[in-house]
Homo-oligomer: A and B are copies of this chain.
Amino acid sequence: MGQFMDVHSGFVGATAEQLAAAHELDLAIEADEGVHFERAWLDSNAGRVFCLSTGPSRDAVIRVHERAGHPPGEVYELTAEVS
């Protein structure tokens, strides 16, 4: 399993409710691809959304987001994490 950060653009003015609704769409279908979206964050002024996920591949993450109607602009496969 890999860990991924994807970035969406174009969400200027989006609300917390819209972020939650988009995330629910991902959660509803993510198991089909063995993906789990752990957390997502919105900057409504810059219009950016960041999604942190685990899954078998970058393509699997992209497929979930595409089927949910919000294909990501960028997907990064993470090689290390600190906390």
Residues of A within 8 A of B (CB): 3, 5, 14-16, 19-20, 23, 38-46, 48, 50, 52, 76-83
**A42–B83 contact, CB under 8 A?**
no
Given contacts A5-B50, A50-B5, contact A39 B83 (CB under 8 A): yes
Can you name the residue of chain B whose Cβ is closest to the Cβ of A21? B82
Select which of B15, B45, B79 is within 8 A of A42 by beta carbon: B79
Q: How many copies does the complex hold?
A: 2
Residues of B within 8 A of A46 (CB): 76
CB distance from A51 to the nearest CB of B (A): 9
CB distance from A13 to the nearest CB of B (A): 10
Cα distance A15–B42 in the bound complex, in angstroms: 28
**B81–A39 contact, CB under 8 A?**
yes
Cα distance A63–B21 in the bound complex, in angstroms: 35
